[in-house]
A = this chain, B = another copy of it.
Amino acid sequence: MTTRWLDDRERVAWVRLAAVMELLPGVLDSQLRRDAELTHFDYFVLAMLSEAPERTRRMTHLAAQTNATLPRLSHVVRRLEERGLIERFPCPEDARATNARLTAAGWAKVQATAPGHVATVREHVIDALSPAQVDQLAEIGEAILARLDPERRVAEGSEG
């Protein structure tokens, strides 16, 4: 079985996507760490909870929404709980499960942090693109996610 190498167009597209994946997380993390002492993943977790009914979600649901493994989420939620931004309690319907709920302090943190985060996303991504390119990016993302995550558990909720 012989390899189908990438042609020039494909290679350029891939190298640029790889570069974005290498650089963008650092930019997002830096802004959030500096202004709110949160990683981008921390923020995403808090943001997903802030939009959930009762600002509460089961850990498994939250893991799916944030594209994280359960062990990773468990560590992150423990740290956020230690900081008073989230609280955990057993799920009444299923004794195996744990619910995570945003505290008042966590809600305030999201409110305070969202504007700066959205500004960063605008500055480095959205405002760099034409309206047509924004739509193209949504379609391209959809196509790639269909391969990465065929079950499409990924959050479609807002993030700010």
Q: Which residues in A have some Cβ–Cβ distance to B below 8 Å?
A: 3-6, 9-25, 27, 41, 44, 66-68, 114-115, 118-119, 121-126, 128-129, 131, 133-149, 154-160
Residues from chain B with Cβ under 8 Å of A144 in the complex: 20, 24, 124-125, 128-129
Chain A interface helix/strand/loop/mixed: helix
Knowing A140-B129, A144-B125, the reply to whether A134 touches B10 (Cβ < 8 A) is: yes
Knowing A13-B135, A25-B21, A139-B133, the reply to whether A160 touches B128 (Cβ < 8 A) is: no
**Roughly how many angstroms separate A12 CA and B125 CA in the complex, as a whole number?**
13
Residues from chain B with Cβ under 8 Å of A20 in the complex: 21, 141, 144-145, 148
Interchain CB contact under 8 A, B17 and A125: yes
